[in-house]
């Protein structure tokens, strides 16, 4: 996201953004040491005031099914009435009859010369780095209160009944320490100790039932609020909202106008994930997105779920191709929904003549490669005049590259839902192509490996075996059915074909990490969201398409990917012995 921020800040003419989900309040560079300067909505507002045209295409969700609140995202981006920012949401469900499928691509295009594409939405929960941190308490020190509640993770989303342990030697309950480079009166008031009656014995106080919204006992919360209300003025409210869980402040959510400078007083001590950006998808799904700086979960009991994802930056002619996809979608949506709205313009693609990039904003070294843009699109998603025209070039590229692989295939994907050709529950041919290639390697007695990395659980709120776990169980069922359960599972098919140990040729992996949260060890899965395939260190397919029918058939979700081939390659044979 840092590279996206740099590209946006260098925009001179126009910015195109297409997203499945866009959260205006996310920070593109972290920690937010410059206040709100790198917040997405601020960056776009700043560029629009400089005269840069900004065009944003958002997926218009079915609100009963998905709570991403694209209407709020649109209102937030256009709230200042700047004519240089245009936002459209698509599709119109009732008019088009499209209720099940989505615009799933994630694109950022600058001046039709630089394009980012891959699996990373500009939304909550996506920013991460190689450390994959599980905790983010900022500068708070929870020394006086020691939670004895079991931690809430994807393995135990419900946890146990919460208790607070109060030592009999404690005569004062200290507010969590707040460290600010330039202390204000409000900040000092927040850090001031508050006297409470000494406990005569060890006491366990049950928490309120709604543990996500209120994480202090009722008598403590009322006393704390009496002190806080006296000292907090103006921006002190924002400091408190960043320092405490959502239910601890009783003045209600901040209005949009109050959110503008919410991080300015936290220079040097800001969290990496502010408010709803700190997320554990299985423990708690998103809600109340119009309150971006209210936490979804209690950070002292719930580790965040780290995010593993992949995207690429392309330039020059390939960026022109990605821009033409956006322009085709924009013009189709304009023609369908805003034909008579003359303030919403049609877009024109730039020519391929003189499309070389004048300067390289990326610090990393770039390389010349052979590159082609791939898509999954059809009439509903891209405005084809002929309703029967379908493009599924991502699917075709996957199958072709698998068939031509010589040494190894490395796959990272959010899903693996693909069954054999004769099973009509799925229609994509990824599993069939892998089966054919592995059988060929077995017959030729050649060394050939397939590595598949995917999430250990789907990112849906709920718990396996419980009434709220239907979505997790459904996705897990189809993943297992495709891999190893039933006669159509890939591993079982290989065994039935005479391969005694399929793991010699193909293996599946997940990612997990561990840390310490409030003095207790915690572990959580790393959610693999990337959509990537590497073949023989020569070919890469990277984009937004999952391995399932939604993404690959073309008539369903719209997707964009890119296939990259390097002309020269140094292949390391020792990898084959791993």
What separation in angstroms does the CA of 105 have from each of 149, 281, 446? 40, 21, 37
The pLDDT of residue 115 = 97
Grade residue 446 by pLDDT with cuts at 50, 70 and 90: very high
The pLDDT of residue 154 = 75
Strand partners of residue 204: 165
The pLDDT of residue 153 = 79
| Residue 369: pLDDT over 70 | yes
Tell me whether domains 2-129+308-337 and 370-577 share a fold. yes
Per-residue model confidence as pLDDT tens digits over 308-364: 999 999 998 999 999 999 999 999 999 999 999 999 999 999 998 877 665 566 656
Per-residue model confidence as pLDDT tens digits over 87-109: 999 999 888 888 999 999 999 99
**Mean pLDDT calculated for residue range 26-50:** 94
Per-residue model confidence as pLDDT tens digits over 459-482: 988 888 888 889 999 999 999 999
Q: Which CATH superfamily is domain 370-577 in?
A: Endonuclease Chain A (3.30.870.10)
Maximum pairwise Cα distance, the chain: 82
Per-residue model confidence as pLDDT tens digits over 280-299: 999 999 999 999 999 999 99
| Residue 166: pLDDT over 60 | no
* Residue spans per domain, the chain: 2-129+308-337, 146-302, 370-577
Grade residue 122 by pLDDT with cuts at 50, 70 and 90: very high
Grade residue 146 by pLDDT with cuts at 50, 70 and 90: low
Supply the mean pLDDT for the chain.
82
| Residue 170: pLDDT over 60 | no
DSSP notation for 287-356: --TT-TTS-SS-TTT-----EE--EEEEETHHHHHHHHHHHHHHHHHHHHH-TT-TTS----PPPSTT--
301-314 in b/e form (b: 16+ CB < 10 A) is bbbbbbbbbbbbbb
The pLDDT of residue 172 = 37
**Mean pLDDT calculated for residue range 49-76:** 96
Q: Which residue numbers are catalytic?
A: 104, 106, 111, 529, 531, 536
| Residue 152: pLDDT over 80 | no
| CA–CA distance, 243 with 235 (Å, rounded to integer) | 13
**Mean pLDDT calculated for residue range 214-241:** 44
**Mean pLDDT calculated for residue range 12-17:** 98
Grade residue 48 by pLDDT with cuts at 50, 70 and 90: very high
Q: Are strands 539-543 and 559-565 parallel, antiparallel or unpaired?
A: antiparallel
The pLDDT of residue 34 = 82
Of 556, 540, 565, 547, nearest in space to 395 by CA? 547
| Residue 395: pLDDT over 60 | yes
Percent of the chain with pLDDT over 70: 75
**Mean pLDDT calculated for residue range 140-152:** 57
CATH 3.90.1150.10 fits 2-129+308-337, yes or no: no
């Amino acid at each position: 996201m840092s590279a996206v921020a740099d590209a946006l800040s260098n925009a001179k003419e126009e910015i195109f953004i297409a997203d499945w989900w866009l959260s205006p309040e996310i920070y593109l560079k972290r920690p937010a040491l410059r206040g709100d300067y790198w917040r997405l909505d601020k960056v776009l507002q700043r560029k629009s005031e400089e005269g840069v045209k900004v065009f944003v295409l958002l997926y218009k969700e079915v609100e009963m099914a998905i709570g991403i609140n694209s209407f709020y995202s649109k209102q937030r981006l256009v709230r200042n009435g700047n004519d240089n920012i245009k936002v459209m949401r698509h599709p119109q469900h009732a008019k088009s009859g499209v209720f099940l499928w989505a615009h799933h691509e994630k694109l950022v295009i600058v001046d039709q010369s630089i394009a980012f594409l891959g699996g990373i939405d500009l939304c909550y929960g996506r920013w991460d780095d190689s450390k994959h941190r599980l905790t983010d308490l900022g500068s708070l020190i929870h020394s006086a209160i020691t939670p004895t509640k079991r931690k809430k993770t994807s393995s135990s989303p419900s946890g146990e009944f919460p208790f607070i342990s109060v030592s009999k030697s404690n005569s004062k309950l200290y507010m969590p320490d707040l460290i600010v480079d330039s202390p204000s009166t409000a900040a000092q008031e927040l850090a001031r100790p508050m006297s409470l009656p000494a406990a005569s014995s060890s006491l366990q106080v049950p928490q309120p039932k709604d543990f996500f919204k209120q994480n202090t006992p009722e008598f403590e919360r009322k006393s704390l609020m009496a002190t806080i209300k006296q000292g907090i003025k103006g921006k002190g409210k924002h400091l408190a909202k960043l320092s405490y869980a959502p239910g601890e402040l009783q003045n209600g959510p901040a209005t949009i106008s109050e959110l503008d400078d919410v991080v300015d007083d936290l220079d040097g001590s800001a969290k990496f994930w502010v408010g709803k950006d700190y997320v554990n998808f299985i423990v708690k799904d998103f809600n109340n997105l119009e309150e971006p700086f209210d936490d979804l979960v209690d950070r002292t009991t719930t580790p965040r779920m780290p995010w593993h994802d992949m995207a690429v930056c392309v330039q020059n002619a390939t960026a022109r191709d990605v821009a033409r996809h956006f322009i085709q979608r924009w013009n189709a949506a304009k023609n369908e929904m805003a034909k008579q709205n003359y303030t919403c313009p049609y877009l024109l693609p730039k020519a391929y003549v003189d499309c070389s990039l004048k300067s390289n904003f990326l610090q990393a070294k770039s390389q010349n490669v052979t590159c082609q843009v791939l898509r999954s699109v059809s009439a509903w998603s891209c405005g084809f005049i002929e309703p029967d025209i379908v493009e599924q070039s991502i699917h075709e590229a996957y199958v072709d590259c698998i068939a031509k692989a010589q040494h190894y295939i490395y796959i990272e994907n959010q899903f693996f839902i693909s069954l054999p050709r004769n099973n009509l529950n799925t229609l994509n041919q990824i599993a069939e192509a892998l089966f054919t290639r592995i059988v060929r390697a077995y017959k030729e007695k050649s060394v050939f490996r397939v590595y598949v990395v995917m999430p250990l659980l789907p990112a849906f709120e709920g718990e396996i075996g419980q009434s709220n776990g239907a979505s997790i169980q459904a996705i897990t069922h189809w993943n297992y059915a495709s891999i190893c359960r039933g006669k159509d599972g890939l591993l079982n098919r290989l065994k039935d074909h005479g391969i005694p140990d399929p793991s010699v040729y193909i293996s599946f992996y997940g990612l997990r990490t561990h840390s310490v949260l409030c003095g207790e060890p915690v572990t959580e899965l790393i959610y693999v969201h990337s959509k990537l395939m590497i073949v023989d260190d020569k070919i890469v397919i990277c984009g937004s398409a999952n391995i399932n029918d939604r993404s690959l058939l073309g008539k369903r979700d719209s997707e964009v990917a890119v296939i990259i081939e390097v002309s020269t390659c140094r292949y390391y044979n020792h990898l084959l012995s791993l």
